[in-house]
Amino acid sequence: MRATVKDVARRAGVSPKTVSNVMNGVIPVNESTRLKVEQAIHDLDYVPNLSARGLRNGKSGVIALALPDLATPYSAEIAHNVVEAAHEQGWSVQIEQTGSDPRREQDLLSKARANLIDGLILNPVVLDQSSVKVGISLPPVVMLGEVPQTLVDRVWVDSVAAARAMTLALARPGRRRIAVLGADAGRGSAGAILRTLGYQAALDELGIDRDDSLLIRCEVWTPRTGAEALDSYLDSNPLPEALFCFTDSMAIGALSVLWKRGIKVPQDIAVAGFDDIADGQYAVPSLTTVSFDKRQIAKEALRLLTERMTDRSVGQRVVAVDFQIVERDSSGY
């Protein structure tokens, strides 16, 4: 049977509350009694029951991280950094996959309300803001990414600026026919729309006419879907001079297709991605990409969460994380 505060108290010859005081350290305890208690804790191999503590304190020490799909490198890297950063602050992280199933988000929110979760970091896919009504009884929520939300705290990378910068970089050696892979196919994905805006802004600056036939639409951003979209595009369209993929994952799929078709990267076409996932560095050829500090994203998200826990009344806060263009072989001259 597990030891409880009572057992420890009995063994140390004090009251349960004193044991609690020793553990939490806010209420001063005499040195000699503290030692007795610590000895007893050690002897009995006592570990406090977190459910009981959670019930009493109204805090569980657990936050939830909701991602579309853990198996994708981007989500995985975010998860890695959030778990890491959370651990440093003494939080545990519960992971949920929302996938494309809206019921998942519901489950999540009710669990959040059920007090097992002190806060929620949410990386929505196509968040029709409907699903998350930041109600009164919800714990603090921080969103990651580009979300058309004016209520919840948010950490993001300025996609418009990043896409613009990448497009300019791809155009620098005189390339003019720059295609994008991952354009919105009607679902209204915020990410797709913003990146396209940045791309078009760059074209405008460069005096290049927009050409909608260079927008390769692709709903889901995975290597497979990216590869398929590019493959069928190339069946009926001439080869562009450059290809700006809206994620590294799609870029990896694209590289695979190009290689299979015998098209040389970067000689025949320059390729770039977005996200700077670890594998991009080891792609063949190594992938030019938009990079940003995922650890910083994680830290900022946690900071916002923590702050919101102590003060729920402040207005929406939005943190933008810097990006930079990393040029590797796939866009070389």
Which residues here bind a copy of itself, judged by CB under 8 A? 2, 45, 47-52, 54-55, 60, 62, 69-73, 75-77, 79-81, 83-84, 87, 92-97, 104, 110-111, 113-116, 137, 223-224, 227, 252-253, 255-256, 259, 278-279, 281-286
95 binds, among a copy of itself, DNA, none (CB under 5 to 8 A by kind): a copy of itself
Pick the stretch among 1-9, 84-92, 116-124, 205-213 that binds DNA (CB under 7 A).
1-9
106 binds, among DNA, a copy of itself, none (CB under 5 to 8 A by kind): none
Q: What tokens appear for 303 in the block?
A: 């900071």
Determine if 14 is a binding residue for DNA (CB under 7 A): yes
Q: How far is CA 149 from CA 72, 91, 93, 144, 317, in A?
A: 24, 26, 24, 11, 11
CB of 76 or CB of 193, closer to a copy of itself: 76
Determine if 284 is a binding residue for DNA (CB under 7 A): no
At residue 283, φ and ψ (nearest 5 deg) are -70, 165
33 binds, among a copy of itself, DNA, none (CB under 5 to 8 A by kind): DNA
157 Cβ neighbours under 8 A, 6+ residues apart = 290, 292, 297, 320, 321, 322, 323
Q: How far is CA 131 from CA 122, 191, 232, 316, in A?
A: 12, 18, 34, 18
5 binds, among DNA, a copy of itself, none (CB under 5 to 8 A by kind): DNA
332 binds, among a copy of itself, DNA, none (CB under 5 to 8 A by kind): none
3-class DSSP state for residue 328? Answer: coil
Determine if 20 is a binding residue for DNA (CB under 7 A): yes
28 binds, among a copy of itself, DNA, none (CB under 5 to 8 A by kind): DNA
Angle, helices 16-24 vs 31-44, to 10°: value is 100
Burial class of residue 274, CB neighbours in 10 A (0-12, 13-18, 19+) = buried
- Find, among 78, 73, 72, the residue nearest to 293 by Cα: 78
CB of 190 or CB of 283, closer to a copy of itself: 283
Determine if 33 is a binding residue for DNA (CB under 7 A): yes
What is the distance between the alpha carbons of residues 15 and 49, in angstroms, rounded to a whole number?
18
> DSSP secondary-structure letter at 153?
E
Smallest gap from Cβ 36 to DNA, in A, equals: 9
21 binds, among a copy of itself, DNA, none (CB under 5 to 8 A by kind): DNA
CB of 208 or CB of 309, closer to DNA: 309
Query: Do residues 225 and 192 lie in contact, with contact meaning Cβ atoms separated by under 8 Å?
Result: no
Smallest gap from Cβ 135 to DNA, in A, equals: 17
Smallest gap from Cβ 177 to a copy of itself, in A, equals: 23
What is the distance between the alpha carbons of residues 202 and 310, in angstroms, rounded to a whole number?
42
Considering only 35, 42, 43, 49, the residue that binds DNA (CB under 7 A) is 49
Tell me if the bond preceding 16 is cis, omega within 30° of 0. Answer: no
Interacting residues with DNA (CB under 7 A): 2, 4-6, 13-21, 23-24, 26-30, 32-33, 46, 48-49, 52-53, 55-58
